Amino acid sequence: MSASSSTQQTLWIRQPLACSDPAAAGGIVVMGDKIIEQVAAGQQPAQRVDTVFDASQHVLLPGLVNTHHHFYQTLTRAYTAALNKPLFPWLTTLYDVWAGLDDEQLRVASELAMVELLMSGCTTIADHHYVFSGALQHAIDSQVEAARLVGVRAALTRGSMSVGRDEGGLPPQSVVQDEQTILDDSARVIKQYHQPGNGAMVTVALAPCSPFSVSQALMRASAQLAQAQQVRLHTHLAETKDETAYCERLFGMRPLDYLDDCGWLGQQTWLAHGIHFNDSEIQRLGTAGTGVAHCPSSNMVLGSGLCRTIELEAAGAPVGLAVDGSASNDHSNLAQEMRQALLLGRLRYLPDQVTHETVIRWATQGSARCLGRTDIGGLKPGQQADLALFGLDGLRFSGAENPLAALLLCGADHADHVMVAGQWRVRSGQPEGIDLAALRSRHEAAARRLWGHIRH
């Protein structure tokens, strides 16, 4: 132990009501930003303990990890003109609204989405931002500021769209950027913000939006830049049958073949949705180690289909969980998304194939694997001290015999206490240093201003 670490205080999260890791049934000991010990049920820590948190009324989980979102979409939840539509018409309706997005609107949308996720027990958030209007110049920069304010880990992706309606794509020309601008800014944000290695609070990945909004040249150039800079790749893929038809018509191949042709298929990549893969494609994804961010609520809202999660995981592909954008969910609550994943999974699989333990694993370990991280997503010694404590004192939990299962089956929707990197970020259900009423007011004003540009 170093001289500096020997002076750090130790905290025992003592004897939780239940824990997702049986080895930590007696709790965990935290020092600095790391977990240093798991305590067996009914035992005392081997380490010297300075302070104790009594967790006897709480279920202990690793901090949840969200693998896909669009923070800006919190400004267009339940937007009338986009209701009850599948993906392509839903997108074309909303693109014209999102074309008015500016830096101030994205900043408050990101802050609100991060706080909403944090309060649901999520300690690491991933966002896919790809809308760059003329009024929006500092998207990733604004999101880094928001993450630092809220105190969450952020896996931010520099998204892009380069093929507009004039070239046969879906987005309007006003949100399309030229490829050199995209690549130059991608290199800038990697250099300025990406933190490699364990304990990183901010990471950057490259994320061309989708096969129907970027060129093949940009897909390939992004893969090359990501390899050179040792960062990850992310995109939407195989979300709808319309997308498959688009790729076959334009490229003469299915979406996964197109992805492979662009140099993306590998451990450096995780994909959003991944619904319409056939058996051989699932095996290829597993062999390559390419991850899939499962987005159950969004897939249901847009009628996109059911992701083949069990087959993907069995093949070797990491499966994580995600709330997706708040215009197709329409919330940013990862605790609720776990319940949705459990129930949706039961429509395809037998109950003993998609259990509450399965879904908790997706939302923690699986999601961490999608982001290429082993230092989060668990409660092992040496991992980051990211954790969520859920109380079961609401009426919905009364009579629950299995506390861990009750989180999903009874519908937990918030954590009582959340720790990120050894720091309490939520206490008694309230985020530290955040005025929720003021945040809601600023966000509502930004949303109404965004709607106003299209209505007038």
Report the chain (456 residues): mean pLDDT per 10 consecutive residues: 62 98 98 98 95 98 98 96 94 92 97 98 98 89 98 98 88 91 98 97 97 93 98 97 93 97 98 98 98 97 96 98 93 98 97 98 98 98 98 97 98 98 98 98 97 71
Cα–Cα distance, 360 to 377 (Å, whole number) = 10
Write down the pLDDT at residue 6.
52
Write down the pLDDT at residue 456.
47
Unique residue bearing structure tokens 């961010």: 293
Provide the Cα torsion 219, 266, 110, 94; round to 10°: 50
Cα–Cα distance, 92 to 70 (Å, whole number) = 16
Contact 295, 308 (CB under 8 A): no
Spell out the alpha helix ranges (H) of 25-136.
Answer: 87-98, 103-119
Write down the pLDDT at residue 4.
45
Domains along the chain? 3-62+382-431 (2.30.40.10), 64-370 (3.20.20.140)
Query: What is Dmax (Cα atoms) for the chain?
Result: 67
Written as six digits, the tokens of 454 are: 């299209």
Side-chain-side CA neighbours of 193 within 13 Å: the count stands at 27
Write down the pLDDT at residue 455.
58
Side-chain-side CA neighbours of 196 within 13 Å: the count stands at 7
Cα–Cα distance, 440 to 212 (Å, whole number) = 34
- How many CB atoms within 10 Å of residue 190? 21
Cα–Cα distance, 132 to 129 (Å, whole number) = 8
pTM: 0.96
Write down the pLDDT at residue 134.
81
Q: What is the DSSP string of 372-412?
A: T-SSSSS--TTSB--EEEEE--SGGGTT-S-HHHHHHHTT-
Write down the pLDDT at residue 3.
41
What SS3 class is residue 334?
Answer: helix
Which helix (H) or strand (E) is 418 found in, with range?
strand 417-420
Contact 291, 269 (CB under 8 A): yes
How far does Cα 201 stand from its chain's mean position? 14
